[in-house]
Amino acid sequence: MTEIKKTVRLIFLDSYLTAIKNSVGANIFKTLWAEVDGQTEDILEGGKLSCASFVSGILAWFGLIKERHATVAGTVRDMQASGWEVIPEPRPGCVLHWEKMKENGEHEHLGFYLGHDAAVSNSRTARTPIEHHWTYDGGRRVVAIYWHPRLNS
């Protein structure tokens, strides 16, 4: 029998973008258990507070940051320490950082840009990642756009 050898090379950006797109509606980022004042608690409140968990989960899975985070600030700090750079215009695969909003308390928001004005981020109401316009149809300002050099390959 003849053995056929194939050369296989991971197409990093395509695999990364597909993972982001396939996360829409997924429950995997909905819960993160922590010990809070001696009690076990879901610190993401069943997906209500999951944007950082979603973004950091994808980034950690692809080795683009060190670990998963529950907060926007922790995710951004890890991104900066892991070589992410601020860029002027979005491109598919970049991380979008939206302004603080006073919706049920003041909070920032993270998600991914897909291209063609589309983004994916966690929805407080759906409690899973959803696809939407990257500026929420002009309703939310992007304060930073992050890009990692590994996404160039």
Residue 49 is part of which domain span?
12-152
Is residue 58 situated within a structural domain?
A: yes
Q: Using one digit for the tens of pLDDT, what is the confidence trace for 1-34?
A: 788 888 888 899 999 999 999 999 999 999 999 9
> Over the stretch 129-147, which tens digit does the pLDDT of each residue have?
999 999 998 889 999 999 9
Q: Is residue 1 included in any domain, yes or no?
A: no
Q: Is residue 5 part of a domain?
A: no
Residues 6+ apart with CB under 8 A from 3: none
Mean pLDDT of 24-51: 92
Residue 6 belongs to a domain: no
Tell me whether residue 4 is in a domain.
no
Count of domains in the chain? 1
80-124: pLDDT as tens digits: 999 999 999 999 999 999 998 776 566 899 999 999 999 999 998
Query: CATH number of the domain that 80 lies in?
Result: 3.90.1720.10
- 44 within a domain of the structure (yes/no): yes
